[in-house]
Structure 1
Amino acid sequence: MKSIKFYYVFIMLITLSCKNNNADSQVFESKEYSHDTIDIVDYNGLQPYLETEDDRIHVVNFWAMWCAPCVAELPYLQQVASQNPDIDMLLVSMDFTNDVETRLKPFLKDNNIKSRVILMDDPDANYWINQIDPSWSGAIPFTIIFNKDKRLYLEQSFENEEDFQNQINQFYN
């Protein structure tokens, strides 16, 4: 009897995990993340986050803990995302992979970062930066805001919430 219950629970878990099997629901699953695990991706792993077929606003922000303007704008990004439930926020850390456990996770916790964070680890920066935006110099912070109809590439830091919200507002018109 125990083995039947086990298989029933196992089948239910598989069924539930397969529900909503489209690319956008898999990529942007939740508004808040615990950061117990942080995915480390190369450009091929990042690419699905850069595409959408829906009307929601997606924000992909490239940043690092060692980048002062990046760290300064994180609270503005978090605040605007929390005030706009239709925004899917992804923070792409450019930090070192060996710092994930010792520095990145504690940083995210200490700064109450709730957005999804992945770590970019692809040594061929000349290739993937050009693939993302040929006019991007590679400097961070760098933010992409997009939906299925519009895309903005912003090689700048946001000075305050209003500065970021003004960019988001372009998608509501």
Structure 2
Amino acid sequence: MRKVWAGVVLAMLLVAGCDRGSHPHQIGTVAPEFTVSDGVQTIDLSKYRGHTVILNLWATWCPPCIIELPSLIQLHHQMPDVDIIAISQDEDDAVYRRFLVQHNIDFLTVRDPTTRINRLYGTKQIPESYVIDKNGMIRRKFVSAQDWTSPEIMSYLKKL
């Protein structure tokens, strides 16, 4: 019986793992353009052509999202020429705004409670991040929390 349960758990993990990376066709394609506004901030991705962009899909209630926030903030300070655009799927505006203040988030973020942008990019679980080059092409997809100041990621971003 234990082997059966172990097999079931393993199968579930493999299926979940495959689902998180099921959009490799996006790499090397033009990033889907969007405009989103939450009444305070408006983001129009097309206005970022000519810039390297990290599109980060997240939420305040997501533990891995919270784990990667300090390194995103640090990256924002160390590489100000890389634009970070964070799209939160939080529904409660007051909770979202309080979170931004409490965590000193000073990069561009907007709330999309409809998860329209997540669906546009095929994101089912967060966090997910997309590196979009100066020509608007998706160059890399990161799944789950990242250390955005790791030597590998910093070197990659500098080359763009």
| TM-score, shorter chain, exceeding 0.5 | yes
* 1:132 counterpart = 2:121: yes
> What amino acid maps onto 1:155 in structure 2?
V
Partner of 1:49: 45
Mapping 1:28-67, distance limit 5 Å: 39-40=37-38, 48-49=44-45, 52-54=48-50, 56-67=51-62
> What amino acid maps onto 2:70 in structure 1?
P
Partner of 2:100: 108
- For structure 1, the 5+ residue unaligned runs are 1-26, 28-37
- For structure 2, the 5+ residue unaligned runs are 1-33
Please, what is the CA RMSD of the aligned residues? 2.9
Determine the C-alpha separation between the residues in 2 that align with 1:141 and 1:130. Answer: 13
Partner of 1:148: 134
Return the TM-score normalized by structure 1. Answer: 0.59
Q: Which secondary structure does the structure 2 equivalent of 1:148 belong to?
A: coil
Shift of 1:129: 4.2
Shift of 1:147: 1.6
Identity %: 21
Q: Which has the larger radius of gyration?
A: 1
Return the TM-score normalized by structure 2. Answer: 0.63
Contact 1:50/1:60, CA 8 A, preserved across alignment: no
Q: 1:166 aligns with which of 152, 155, 160?
A: 152
